[in-house]
Amino acid sequence: MHFKALRESFVVEVTNPKSAVFFIAFLPQFTDQGATYPVWLQIILLGVAANLFFSFAEAGCVIFADQIAGLFRKSRSAGRWMRRAAGSVLIALGANLLISER
């Protein structure tokens, strides 16, 4: 189960044009024109490093979420309380939207 979610996440991240625009806009400020390596290589190395860090963090989140989901699948009362909490949050958000001024 973990690997399918990670694979799908990787495909989404690689094919997401917003990610590419973000890295093109964000990474050049961390490059050095006078460095040994050319700027384009620095950007590629920074992008690979950032994606590795993000992937490890994402893998941790997927594993943690799977453990929590397993807890809710095993326990009827935990699932019931989770549904109640989610419903309460949705009601609170709806009430906030209703009383907020534009």
pLDDT digits (tens, 9 = 90+) for 37-60: 999 999 989 988 988 888 888 888
**In terms of pLDDT, which residue wins out, 5 or 32?**
32
pLDDT band at 1 (very low <50, low <70, confident <90, very high): low
Residue 3 has pLDDT above 80, yes or no: no
Length of the chain: 102
Q: Of all residues in the chain, what percent are helix, strand and coil, respectively (each to 5)?
A: 85, 0, 15
Mean model confidence pLDDT for the chain: 85
pTM of the predicted protein model: 0.58
